[in-house]
Amino acid sequence: MWFIIEQNKRKTTFFLIILTLFFLFFGSALGFCVSCEISDKSYFGTYIGLGISFICLLGIIIYTKFNASKFFLNQVGAVPIKKEDLPVLHNAVEEMSISASLGFIPKIYIIDSNIPNAFSVGINEKNAAVAVTTGLLSSLNRDELQGVIAHEIAHIKNLDTLYLMYAGVVFGLIVCVSNAIIRGFIGGPRSRRYSSSRRSGDSAGAAILIALILAIISPILVKLLYLTVSRKREYLADACACQYTRYPSGLASALTKISNFSVSSDKNNEKYIEKNEKMHSGEVVSCMYIHNFLQKENAGFWDELFSTHPSTKKRISVLKQMGACDFEEYNKVYRAVLSEKSLVNKNKLLKMNLSPIPIVAPVASAASETAVSDKNTDEQRINRQREAKDSFKKASNYKIINCDCNVKLKIPPELKISEIACPNCNRVHKILG
C-alpha cells in the first residue's frame, strides 16, 4: 500500500507545481496587461504582477497550512462533537484511523443538514478533521457509516485533502479576481476606455482584451485541472476504504443510500437539496464531499467534463463486484467496469506479490441484519436522527433539560430565559446560567 500512497504524493506534488506556475503566470499576465494600458513599459508591470502573485501565493500556502481546515468547516456550519455524545461515530473514526496507520485520530465534526454527506480536511494531527451530516448519521447503519469514514480517512492518508484545500483556495482567489475584472469591463469605466482605445488602435486596447480573455479562461482551466484529479482520487479512496474495512459492501450500500436520497426525490425536494447544498457548501466545498448533490448522475459529455466526482453508479458497481479487498482486485474490477486503464500501476502490483485480502463480513450475519433492518428500519432511522440532532444541539451549546414526563427540552443559547414550562406536563424548569 505504501507505494500507492507515495505515487499519489508524487502526483499531488506535480499538480501543485502546475497550479502554482499557472497562478504566477496569471498574475504576471495581468500585470503586463495593466502596464500596457498605462504606458509602454510593459515589462515593469510584468515584474510587479509576478511579485504580487508570489506574495499572494505565500499567503495562500500559510493560510492553507494553518487556517484552511477551519475555513471549510466554518463555511458548512460544522461543530466539534464529543465522544460521549456520539460514541458510535467516534469509534468508527478511531478504528479506521488505526486500520489506515494514520498515526493520529482526526477531530470529528457534525453538520446540521438532513442531506446525507461527509467530507474530510487537513493533513496532520493539528488540522485534520472528518465532518458528517446529521442526515448521514440517521440514514446509515454501523457498517455503512464505517465505510464512509474509511473513505474520508483515506483522503487524509493519501494527502488528497492537501491538494483539494490548496487548489480550492487558489481556484477561489482566481475566480474572485476574474469576476472583478469582468465586472469592471462590462459596467465600469474600463469598458468605455476599451472602446475608445480600440478606436484609436493603440496597444492599450489589445492589452485590455487579453486581460478580459485571461479573466474568462483562467477559472475554467484551473477548474478542469482541479476536477480531473479529484475524480480519480475518489476511486482510489474507495479502494483504500475497502482495505481498511475489509467489507466493500458496506461502502457500496452507503453510497446507494446517499445517491438514492437525490434520485428518489420529487421536484420540491430537489430544489431543497440544491438550496441546502449551496448554503452549506458552495462550489469549492462541494468538491470535497463523498457525493456531490449539485452534479447530475446521468451526465452528458460536457457535464461529466466539469463534474467534481465520478458517477456514483459506477463506483457502486465496482464495489459490488469485488471478490476481495486488496488493490489488485479493485484494479481488476475497475478496468472491467469502466473499460479504462489501470487505476494503479499493474506491474508494480505484480512486483509486490501481494496476497489477496479476503472480505470479512460483519459479526452479525448479512441475512439476520437485513431481516432486522427491514423490520425496524423506520424506528432505527428515527432514533439515529434524534440522537444526531440532539448531539449537534448539545455541541452548539443548547441547554438540554430532561423532564419527568420523558419530554426533552432544548433551549438555544441565544434564548436568554431563567425558566421554561414543559409543553406536555406544564412543569416549570429552572434554567441554570
Residue with cell 473513505: 151
Residue 64 is placed in which grid cell? 492553507
* Residue 58 DSSP label: H
Would you tell me the crossing angle of helices 189-200 and 203-245 to the nearest 10 degrees? 130
Do residues 114 and 135 lie in contact, with contact meaning Cβ atoms separated by under 8 Å? yes
The one-letter amino acid code at 84 reads E
Provide CB contacts within 8 A for 184, sequence distance 6+.
Answer: 190, 191
Q: Which stretch of DSSP H or E encloses residue 136? A: helix 134-139
Do residues 244 and 99 lie in contact, with contact meaning Cβ atoms separated by under 8 Å? yes
Chain centroid offset of residue 295 CA: 13
DSSP labels for 22-34?
A: HHHHHHHHHHHHH
Do residues 84 and 138 lie in contact, with contact meaning Cβ atoms separated by under 8 Å? no
| 119: three-class secondary structure by DSSP | strand
152 counts as catalytic? yes
- Compute the radius of gyration of the chain from its Cα atoms: 25
Distances in whole angstroms, Cα of residue 267 to Cα of each of 139, 255, 362: 21, 22, 37
* Residue 429 DSSP label: E
- Among residues 37, 84, 94, 152, which one is catalytic? 152
Would you tell me the crossing angle of helices 189-200 and 160-187 to the nearest 10 degrees? 70
- Residues 405, 411, 415: CA angle, nearest 5 degrees: 140
Which residue from 182, 170, 290, 164 is spatially nearest to 227, judged by alpha carbons? 164
Which residue from 251, 253, 256, 254 is spatially nearest to 237, judged by alpha carbons? 251
Catalytic residue numbers?
A: 152
